[in-house]
């Protein structure tokens, strides 16, 4: 575990050193380039701010109103068909909408069932193999003013579903009763 | 599509809140969302400036070009209409590498840049290209090799083996990414879509 943590923590510093050393070697004005890019980065944030506000606004309404729970109750029988425990449908539903909310839900699941229970392991695997689709789609397309996203959302949802099914399947085999 | 989803979340949510009596909670959530969003953006300012700054160094030193040329065979299969030497390809490879290494906050600025560059190649201004769909689906399917956030949370929650989900997550990620790629490839061959 400690060796693992050390590797995980070292990834970013190593990445940064690689960039700076490589560029210096190639005689790039590293500091000037950094400032140039940083300026660009700040502009990007201001550019995407309205999309983030708009998306969080809708997601918060959807969650606080209980609409997500209704959707959850409606869909959970469907998820049961693929063997997903009922306790995990909220996570499966919330995950495409919000990363931070699903992470706090995951912490909740650990607390309730114990981090080493099969439920928690399926939840962890799901969490590690899926992404916040709606947020990503809104942000990426919004930033370049694309209106017609075509088959992006269906294909992304299909891939998430595949991730969930795979998580249930592999965890039952690996950690099964 | 995103317009409908957005409208649905708001309208359905508010109607439900009237039925369930959660109106007050929703009003609070609306106000909270503004604060959360702005706080998030302020936090992002530093991270974005930092990563885009480093990225700019990487670009000037042609590190990004050499990276994307190494990844060329697979990238060309995934994004057939993005020219090999274009800036878009460089950002796409950086985004995918950052995602694989679990550097989510670095992946997003690269991803947004990649979208911007791909938009320059787009003949239409408002309709997504096949390559954009592919890029989004890959980003939405998580290609992370090590789920470091989840592992950290497991450790914090007192798990005895926080890392034992690494391989299962890798398997599930591979499945979701492959299915996503197959779905985009299949759907992109339909002319009507």
Cβ atoms < 10 Å from Cβ of B31: 12
In angstroms, the separation between the Cα of residue B173 and the nearest Cα of chain A is 4
Say yes or no to pLDDT of A2 above 70: no
B133 near A CB under 8 A:
yes
3-state secondary structure B49-105: HHHHHHHHHHHHCCHHHHHHHHCHHHHHHHCCCCCCCCHHHHHHHHHHHHHHCCCHH
Would residue A57 count as lying in a domain?
no
Q: CA A35 to CA B57: how far, in whole Å?
A: 9
Say yes or no to pLDDT of B115 above 70: yes
Would residue A158 count as lying in a domain?
yes
| Vertex B174 angle, CA B172 and B178, to 5° | 120
A163 and A120 in a common domain: yes
Would residue A61 count as lying in a domain?
no
Residues 6+ apart with CB under 8 A from A10: none
B100 near A CB under 8 A:
no
Would residue A53 count as lying in a domain?
no
Would residue A92 count as lying in a domain?
yes
Residue A91, both tokens: 């996570």
Alpha carbon of residue B141 to chain centroid: 8
A100 and A15 in a common domain: no
Cβ atoms < 10 Å from Cβ of B120: 10
Identify which of A63, A129, A145 has the shortest CB distance to residue B125. A145
Which one-letter DSSP state was computed for residue A148? B
Would residue A98 count as lying in a domain?
yes
B11 near A CB under 8 A:
no
A82 near B CB under 8 A:
no
A140 and A111 in a common domain: yes
A72 and A41 in a common domain: no
3-state secondary structure B31-55: HHHHHHHHHHHHHHHHHHHHHHHHH
> What pLDDT sits at residue B193?
57
Interface of B with A in 50-79 (CB under 8 A): 50-63
A20 and A93 in a common domain: no
Q: Are A33 and B56 in contact (CB under 8 A)?
A: yes
Say yes or no to pLDDT of B98 above 90: no
A154 and A108 in a common domain: yes
Tell me the pLDDT band of A8, cut-offs 50, 70 and 90: low
Q: Could you identify the residue written with the tokens 């539903």?
A: A93
Interface of B with A in 12-41 (CB under 8 A): 12-14, 16-17, 20, 22, 25-26, 28-30, 32-34, 36-38, 40-41
A33 and A76 in a common domain: no
Domain definitions of chain B by residue range: 1-61
How many distinct structural domains can be found in chain A?
2
Question: Is B168's CB within 8 Å of A167's CB?
Answer: yes
Residue B101, both tokens: 């290494």
HSE (side-chain half, CA atoms, 13 Å) at B135? 34
A65 burial level (CB within 10 Å; 0-12, 13-18, 19+): buried
> What pLDDT sits at residue B18?
94
Give the SS3 label for residue B108: helix
Q: Which domain holds residue A21?
A: 1-46
Q: What is the mean pLDDT of residues B72-82?
A: 93
A38 and A70 in a common domain: no
Between A133-143 and A30-64, two packed helices, what is the crossing angle to 10 degrees?
130
Between B23-60 and B63-70, two packed helices, what is the crossing angle to 10 degrees?
100
A112 near B CB under 8 A:
no
A86 and A163 in a common domain: yes
Q: CA B44 to CA B41: how far, in whole Å?
A: 5
Would residue A71 count as lying in a domain?
yes
Q: What is the mean pLDDT of residues A145-156?
A: 91
A155 burial level (CB within 10 Å; 0-12, 13-18, 19+): buried
Tell me the pLDDT band of A114, cut-offs 50, 70 and 90: very high
A161 and A108 in a common domain: yes
A95 and A164 in a common domain: yes
pLDDT in tens, B9-35: 899 999 999 998 889 999 998 998 888
Say yes or no to pLDDT of A20 above 80: yes
A118 near B CB under 8 A:
no
Beta bridge mates, A148: B127
A89 and A169 in a common domain: yes
Residue B24, both tokens: 């007050």
Residue B167, both tokens: 């391989």
Q: What ipTM goes with this model? A: 0.81
Among A24, A32, A131, A172, the residue to mutate for chain B (most B Cβ within 10 A): A131
Cβ atoms < 10 Å from Cβ of A122: 28
Would residue A141 count as lying in a domain?
yes
CA-based radius of gyration for chain B:
20
- Percentage of residues of chain A with pLDDT beyond 70: 95
Q: What is the mean pLDDT of residues A118-142?
A: 90
Say yes or no to pLDDT of B143 above 80: yes
Say yes or no to pLDDT of A100 above 80: no
């Amino acid at each position: 575990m400690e060796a693992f943590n050390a590797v995980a923590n070292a990834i970013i510093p190593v990445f940064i050193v690689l960039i700076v050393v490589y560029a210096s070697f190639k005689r790039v004005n590293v500091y000037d380039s950094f400032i140039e890019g940083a300026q660009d980065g700040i502009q990007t944030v201001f550019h995407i701010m309205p999309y983030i506000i708009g998306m969080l606004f809708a997601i918060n309404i959807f969650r606080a109103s209980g609409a997500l729970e209704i959707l959850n109750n409606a869909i959970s029988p469907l998820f049961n068909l693929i063997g997903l425990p009922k306790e995990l449908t909220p996570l499966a539903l919330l995950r495409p909408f919000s990363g931070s909310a699903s992470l706090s839900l995951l912490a909740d699941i650990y607390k309730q069932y114990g981090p080493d229970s099969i439920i928690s392991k399926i939840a962890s695997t799901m969490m590690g193999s899926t992404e916040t689709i709606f947020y990503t789609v809104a942000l990426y397309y919004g930033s370049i003013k694309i209106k017609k996203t075509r088959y992006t959302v269906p294909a992304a949802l299909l891939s998430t579903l595949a991730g969930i099914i795979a998580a249930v399947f592999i965890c039952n085999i690996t950690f099964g009763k | 599509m995103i317009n409908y989803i957005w409208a649905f979340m708001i309208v359905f949510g508010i109607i439900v809140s009237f039925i369930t009596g959660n109106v007050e909670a929703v009003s609070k959530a609306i106000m909270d969302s503004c604060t959360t969003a702005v706080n998030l953006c302020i936090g992002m300012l530093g991270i974005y400036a930092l990563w885009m700054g480093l990225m700019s160094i990487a670009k000037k030193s042609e590190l990004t070009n050499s990276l994307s040329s190494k990844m060329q065979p697979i990238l060309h299969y995934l994004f057939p209409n993005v020219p090999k030497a274009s800036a878009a390809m460089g950002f796409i490879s950086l985004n995918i590498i950052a995602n694989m290494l679990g550097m989510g906050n670095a992946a997003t600025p690269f991803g947004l840049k990649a979208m911007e560059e791909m938009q320059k190649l787009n003949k239409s201004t408002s309709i997504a290209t096949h390559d954009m769909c592919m890029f989004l689906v890959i980003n939405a399917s998580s290609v992370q090799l090590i789920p470091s956030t989840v592992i950290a949370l497991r450790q914090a929650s007192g798990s005895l083996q926080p890392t034992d989900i690494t391989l299962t997550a890798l398997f599930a990620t591979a499945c979701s990414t492959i299915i996503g790629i197959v779905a985009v490839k299949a759907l992109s061959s339909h002319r009507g879509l």
